[in-house]
Amino acid sequence: MATLPLLAGAPPTSWQAHGLCRAVDSSIFFPPAHFEHKPEREARERRAKAVCNECPVRAECLDWALSTREPHGVWGGHAEGERKQMLLGKARIPA
């Protein structure tokens, strides 16, 4: 089982060290190398978001993903398209 690349070497004091995704297969957070049909993508993202919804550092994670304009994957409970809408002011950024 792989961990998220960013989180793999996170110092224990970092919010990244407390992400629940460290304990699950990171492949649910990112699109596969092959073409992914919409129903598959939606199912994968639902599984990732379910992990994020229980994560104690969800807010910090979303802040990081928005501030770095992370282009791929589910971070802080939001997929890349949802974060893009937030950055464009077309969706509310959760408090």
Site for ligand SF4, rule CB under 6 A: 19-21, 29, 51-52, 55, 57-58, 61, 75-77
Nearer to ligand SF4 among residue 14 and residue 85 (C-beta): 14
Contact 29, 1 (CB under 8 A): no
Instruction: Please tell me the distance from the alpha carbon of residue 29 to that of residue 81, in angstroms, as a whole number.
Output: 13
Nearer to ligand SF4 among residue 44 and residue 75 (C-beta): 75
Nearer to ligand SF4 among residue 61 and residue 80 (C-beta): 61
Q: What is 14-36 written as a DSSP string? A: SGGGG-GGGGS-GGGTS--SS--
Distance in Å, CB of 18 to ligand SF4, minimum: 7
